[in-house]
Amino acid sequence: MPESRAGRGHPGKSMASFTLHGIPVSRGISIGRAHLLTPAALDVKHYLVAEEQVEAEVKRLQEAIAQVHRTLQDLWTDLPKDAPTELGAFIDVHVLILSDPMISEAPLDIIRSRHYNAEWALVTQIDELSAQFDEIEDAYLRERKQDIQQVAERVLKVLMGTELSAPPVPTGEDHFQPQMIVVAHDISPADMLAFRDRSFVGFVTDVGGQNSHTAIVARSLDIPAAVGMSQASRLVEQDDWVIVDGDAGVVICNPSALVLEQYRARQAALIKARKRLLKLKKTPAVTRDGTSITLLANIELPDDCPAALDAGAHGVGLFRSEFLFMGRGAQALRVPSEDEQFEQYRKAVLAMKGRAVTIRTLDVGADKPLDQTEHTALNPALGLRAIRYCLAEPQLFLTQLRAILRASAFGKVRILIPMLAHAFEIDQSLNMIAQAKAQLREQNIKFDESIEVGAMIEIPAAALALPMFVKRMDFLSIGTNDLIQYTLAIDRVDYEVAHLYNPLHPAVLNLIAMTIAAGAKAGIDVAVCGEMAGDVKLTRLLLGMGLREFSMHPAQLLAVKQEILASDLKTLTTRTRRILRAMEPGDIAEAVEQLQSL
């Protein structure tokens, strides 16, 4: 054991404490020992190979690339069934990068033309590519530079015959088994996956933003994480005691006994609060004045249904079906067949045991590209996404509609259409559903003839033309994530404008309130399925606007229910009317906060 370890053996003792500040990406507090994830040294050997050695050097690089391909393929195959969908997608991204001629061929040309050794050729090419990525304005795309570097590091590791070090096995030298926190310059999602079953409880990285793949995986694994820590991997030492505050984006290294005690208390309080909430699972979601509220779950895959039931969801309010089309690894070049889709939809329907499942039709495009689509649109969020893409690909759309309809023979299913703005889009969509029904009838295949069809209200134009929707649709579901993006003209995945993403902007609030009111007037259900529905600070405001259906990630459901149980609709309605008339952001924020104390 290194001498320093003994000194680091007990938290809150001996080592100098310091605090780092970065970007919070995944909530909660974790306390553990640092495990430094060693990146492959980019500082590689540089030498020129003799003419007669060039082809052997080319082959050396080709073989290293082929080996990384096999490793990624194995990772994909070994993906646990319950692995978050994003993980498969991330491995796919790395496979695509590795197959790109910029990585798989350009360095070979460098070896041939400049006689560089394989490592030097690869690093030269990566440096050139990285410089090009630095020029890109789009923060989301710019972050993809890290994916390229991670892929290159994998190849370098093979070339240099080194592997990622495995996490240290807990030594048991303390009163309790210490848990590990990964500290790294950067972590590729695939590497993180390899550590998934080990006992690590937090992530800290030097680089990365809100939307880096690592951040997304951390969130989906529900593990506290902070990124953008700039020097963490240099300053923190192996086995140092570390606190990760994923709510504040703060990392405390070698905390004093007092700080440690405070954080342990906060951590315990959070765990206790989560446990307390579990008691509400079977409590009906009814306001103090006796109004029942419907609480639904947002899911990505049928495997999310047990979590929805565990949280006491009344059904699925949003099944983001595009996740069946993404992250398909080796099958990425084709979309799932009608039978494959049908099996998945039926699985969700059966898993929900009679509760309604609202399946949203394919919402691809923008930050959710189909694996095989070209990403050439200048403004992908304004481009051929969601229903626009489906109407441009009628066979693909019909296939999905038939699969959904077939699943409706096994339990209550509703169809939800995303990104509608125009009357003709609604009419064409309904027409396609009618066609899909006719095809199934012809084949004597059973389905629910009176299946309900609803529209996502997520484009301001839709919220301003509600009569067009309520006349044609059975229900509405407000997608606040996109509604905010399009109302305020900010890219929802661009961290540089993240400070402008304000759900409480009066324009946003009024569009939501108008939609809820229009639904009530027409007698059709209106839900909110965007992130606002799962934000407990906004539950009372939405109730005050008249919302009676909330759809959210299962993990948020019980906390929202707790708010509902404490709410009095009469008071909230009066207060909310006033909030909707207010135009000063400060007044609105203050009034919304005051709703919490009613």
Give the residue numbers annotated as catalytic, written as ranges. Answer: 213, 529
Q: Which of 363, 371, 535, 549 binds ligand PEP (CB under 6 A)?
A: 363
Would you count residue 320 as binding ligand PEP (CB under 6 A)?
yes
Question: Beta partners for 34?
Answer: 181
86 binds, among ligand PEP, Mg ion, none (CB under 5 to 8 A by kind): none
CA 243 and chain centroid, separation? 24
Half-sphere exposure of 206 (CA within 13 A, CB side): 15
Q: Considering beta carbons, is residue 448 or 482 the nearer one to Mg ion? A: 482
Q: Considering beta carbons, is residue 479 or 544 the nearer one to ligand PEP? A: 479
CA 329 and chain centroid, separation? 18
CB of 316 closer than 8 Å to CB of 296: yes
Question: Beta partners for 463?
Answer: none
Burial class (CB in 10 A: 0-12, 13-18, 19+), 167: middle
φ, ψ for residue 205, nearest 5 deg: -130, 155
Give the interface segment with ligand PEP, choosing from 31-39, 167-175, 333-341, 473-481 (CB under 6 A): 473-481
List residues binding Mg ion (CB under 5 A).
458, 479, 482
- Give min distance, CB of 219 to ligand PEP, in A: 14
Q: Considering beta carbons, is residue 318 or 588 the nearer one to ligand PEP? A: 318
- Give min distance, CB of 111 to ligand PEP, in A: 44
- Give min distance, CB of 139 to Mg ion, in A: 20
Would you count residue 481 as binding ligand PEP (CB under 6 A)?
yes
Give the pair of three-digit tokens for residue 426: 């609604």
Among 193, 188, 182, CA closest to 233 = 182
Q: Considering beta carbons, is residue 228 or 418 the nearer one to ligand PEP? A: 418
Give the contacts of 285 (CB within 8 A, at least 6 positions apart).
Answer: 292, 293, 294, 295, 314, 561, 564, 565
Would you count residue 460 as binding ligand PEP (CB under 6 A)?
no
Q: Considering beta carbons, is residue 483 or 547 the nearer one to Mg ion? A: 483
Would you count residue 220 as binding ligand PEP (CB under 6 A)?
no
480 binds, among ligand PEP, Mg ion, none (CB under 5 to 8 A by kind): ligand PEP
Give the interface segment with ligand PEP, choosing from 263-271, 284-292, 397-405, 475-483 (CB under 6 A): 475-483
CB of 551 closer than 8 Å to CB of 297: yes
CA–CA separation, 478 and 512 (whole Å): 7
Output the CA torsion sign for 29, 35, 40, 44. Answer: positive
Q: Give the largest Cα separation in the chain, rounded.
A: 86
Would you count residue 328 as binding ligand PEP (CB under 6 A)?
no
Question: Beta partners for 296?
Answer: 551
Would you count residue 480 as binding ligand PEP (CB under 6 A)?
yes
CB of 253 closer than 8 Å to CB of 11: no
Give the interface segment with ligand PEP, choosing from 197-205, 349-357, 479-487, 510-518 (CB under 6 A): 479-487
CA–CA separation, 433 and 398 (whole Å): 7
Would you count residue 361 as binding ligand PEP (CB under 6 A)?
no
320 binds, among Mg ion, ligand PEP, none (CB under 5 to 8 A by kind): ligand PEP
Give the pair of three-digit tokens for residue 72: 């990624």
559 binds, among Mg ion, ligand PEP, none (CB under 5 to 8 A by kind): none
CB of 316 closer than 8 Å to CB of 355: yes
Q: Binding pattern to ligand PEP, positions 511-540, x when CB under 6 A?
A: ------------------xx----------
CA–CA separation, 484 and 503 (whole Å): 6
Would you count residue 267 as binding ligand PEP (CB under 6 A)?
no
Number of residues that bind ligand PEP (CB under 6 A): 10
- DSSP-derived 3-state class of residue 121: helix
Give the interface segment with ligand PEP, choosing from 102-110, 345-353, 477-485, 511-519 (CB under 6 A): 477-485
Among 19, 455, 550, 506, CA closest to 236 = 19
Q: Which of 458, 491, 535, 563 binds ligand PEP (CB under 6 A)?
A: 458
544 binds, among Mg ion, ligand PEP, none (CB under 5 to 8 A by kind): none
Residues of this chain, 300-319, that bind ligand PEP according to CB under 6 A: 318
CA–CA separation, 433 and 415 (whole Å): 9
Residues that bind ligand PEP (CB under 6 A): 318, 320, 363, 458, 479-482, 529-530
